[in-house]
Structure 1
């Protein structure tokens, strides 16, 4: 017998003594090796198409939402008390829609179609700014109705965005044969950069147009309205992912209450509240106290002319850092980045506890405060949402509705506290606002610091639970495999 015959005989002998399922697996491996190179190329091209589609969605989504944010920033300045009440109605209906219908709509219509529905409602909100400007006799009615419609749209929009983001991340990971966590980190960084970058541009639009041309406010709000309409129309061209298999036995109420059920039944969710609350409280603190009072005193800015530049700087920092964090998390994981974000929120308020005398502040310290908030916001818009997609992948709509619920509610509480924490005599921590009223800033600052620190502890507890779930799942899979092998051998 020749050496070649001997090798063939030994190989055939070994194959004959192998269990059938092992011989089938070896055959599958051989087939896979033959087509692996072509398959890899196909996967890379498919992943590239998924990425381009996601970028296109992000550009359209961000143009629509940035127009809304730009109008929201101008609400009080252009509409006075009507604008303040309008913003309150917007946040109220935004939070309410998250727990009373957004999850049902997204499950019923699908992520892509729900994005379109939410953006259409946003068109009504922005259009009502234009209407209130040209039809001043009905300014209040137009503003309030638009806010109520826009708030509902916001709940639909962000819940749908989270679901679409999760589906795109899963598809991208499958096509590249990599962990879904890597794809969520990568795509979250891209989305946050586009979203925040367009926010910088559209926040600056009104200032630039008024500075270099003679257009009126109706033209500015008309431009924002046109942007929302065009971006919404473009959404029909993005890919529509197949909907999850419908659960026909589930009632409408079961779908509507997905957010509340997830909060009460998944122990990880309650530990994630701190991160959303930290962002909500810090944003309210910055927008109400820092923008409204600190900038006026430190920069002698009675006309609020520096607010636009400072908030644009904040958004710019957030846009850049979101790209950085998207890359870094692929190496470090999301935990260190979320911890850094919570610390940044903490240090937005902590300096005011250490040095409450605003006369001793200067512009450099203010820029640092806005930089810290921008860095923290980058973690919220990108890394935190990617973490929710990982931790609650089995209930995407309910998970992102919880972000709306927790962040929206904490923001609303923060704005209420700003004007209801009063004091009787001026002191180091009893600040006099521009309207002459005295406010207890110490309690609000302490709330921001404490919430941010507790958020770190809460996140790591949630992370521990998530890792335990993964370990239990792996052990279950190994046990099932061993049982199957024993059954085949028998």
Structure 2
């Protein structure tokens, strides 16, 4: 978990700095990252994870993520080459994210099964506990990586080239160290007949869409993945890239790292609390709490859109609510997917990538599609002088939040029906 989190922490730190450092190029880079991320979930990531095994597939994904982090170093040092290096790195990183998170989900499910068997308890209890522990480590490491840029830039006056070089070095070291992590793979997959290879490939590649089409629970889980993807894009693109600079007069982006660390810090603490709370009241209420937290992120912009009059208290509240919502996504939601889809782990977690990644890509691109002519209210002048309508984005978040709550309720009903069906030897009660 520590190595995974160090690598991914470098990626998230760079992701939040993309729009702040590269303006429009950064926004399109993030969009390319998530489009590639979504594409990987449809083009064979489940097959790769099943063939390589979860640990080796995670290592491959981390290696590709290293390319994404390195692209920031290249883009900063290569004057005139920011756009091609940023976009190429984003496409490679998106594929890496597809491998990484699908493999992490499978590895998590395997770990939970081993943990449950060793303690003679239900898998659901193990997923609740281990999800909280993983999310705490993951998010604590993210806090460190996010704060690193702000500390190095403001306290030690280290150049951005060197900062991105440090991020690249950390991500590479974590990837190499994955060789020493225990593997839960039961056996290597060996097939001798070409027909078997083709059949396996066809089946595994289609696992993501097959699960989405034929398992009704998956359709209803779309909202929970989408609300996080849209909210994360809203914060990383609009709030990090524009609002912080306007509200805090932060032209040098010194505070973006600290505010991002606030989100990760709140999420880290919340994830531990939610891990224990889920064992008491179940995962459903915690997931609904997360949706309301995401609503709390966007509501201030609808009620009080004049961000030039904002200050630290309102921004800290927004980043903290994002952290509460994110804790439910990184821990509770992934544990719920492990519970709801135990027979197709890779396909289930690839669907998280598909749904969350698609929403994130839309979120990064949406403000650049809906433009306006003059600053005022919900028409915001970006730092590059262009005007963008953010109201449509904010209203979309409200609709998706509503669907997320209703959709989860329906998916949980279907899951309980399935559970009763299998508990009674196929007789549906």
TM-score by length of 1: 0.80
The structure with more radius of gyration = 1
Aligned-pair CA distance for 1:368: 1.3
- 1:196 matched to 2:139? The reply is yes
Residue in 2 that maps onto 1:52: none
Deviation at 1:98, TM superposition (A): 1.1
Distance 2:73 2:384 in 1: 29
1:101 deviation in Å?
1.5
- In structure 2, the CA distance between the partners of 1:161 and 1:361, relative to structure 1 (3 Å rule), is same
Q: Give yes or no for contact 1:64–1:231 (8 Å, CA) kept in 2.
A: yes
Question: Hey, what does 1:317 align to over in structure 2?
Answer: 266
Note if contact 2:27-2:364 (Cα within 8 Å) is conserved in structure 1.
no
The aligned counterpart of 1:326 is 275
Aligned match for 1:384, one of 318, 330, 333: 333
Instruction: Give the CA deviation at 1:234.
Output: 1.6
8 Å CA contact 2:42–2:208 kept in 1: the answer is yes
Q: Separation in 2 of the partners of 1:438 and 1:154?
A: 32
Deviation readout 1:110-146 (Å, 9 max, x if unpaired): 1011011111212222233334445557555443333
- Give runs of aligned pairs for residues 241-390 of structure 1, distance below 5 A: 241-243=184-186, 248=196, 250-358=199-307, 361-390=310-339
Matches for 1:117-136 after TM superposition, within 5 Å: 117-134=60-77, 136=79
| 1:346/1:453 contact within 8 Å kept | no
Q: Deviations over 1:416-435 (max 9, x none)?
A: 21122234565543344444
Matching residue within 404, 411, 425 for 1:462 = 411
Q: Please name the residue that 2:130 is paired with.
A: 187
Match of 1:421 among 349, 370, 385: 370
Shift of 1:214: 5.5
What's the RMSD between the two structures over aligned residues?
2.4
Aligned to 1:227: 170
Partners of 1:343 and 1:453 within 8 A in 2? no
| Match in the other structure for 2:109 | 166
By how many angstroms is 1:359 displaced? 5.5
SS at 1:439 equivalent:
strand
Shift of 1:355: 2.9
Which secondary structure state, in structure 2, belongs to the residue aligned with residue 422 of structure 1?
coil
Deviates more, 1:463-472 or 1:114-123: 114-123
Residues 288 and 418 in structure 1, CA contact (< 8 A), matched pair in contact too: no
Contact 2:154 2:254 in 1 (8 A): no
- In the alignment, structure 2 segments of 5+ residues that lack a partner are none
The structural deviation recorded for 1:79 is: 4.7
**CA distance in structure 1 between the aligned counterparts of 2:159 and 2:372, rounded to whole angstroms:** 42
The residue aligned with 2:52 is 109
Q: Is the 8 A contact 1:321 1:375 kept in 2?
A: yes
Q: Would you say the 8 A contact 2:28–2:365 is kept in 1?
A: no
| Equivalent-residue separation in structure 1 for 2:264 and 2:285 (angstroms) | 22
Provide the TM-score with structure 2 as the length reference: 0.91
With over 3 angstroms needed to count, the CA separation of the structure-2 counterparts of 1:296 and 1:256, relative to structure 1, is same
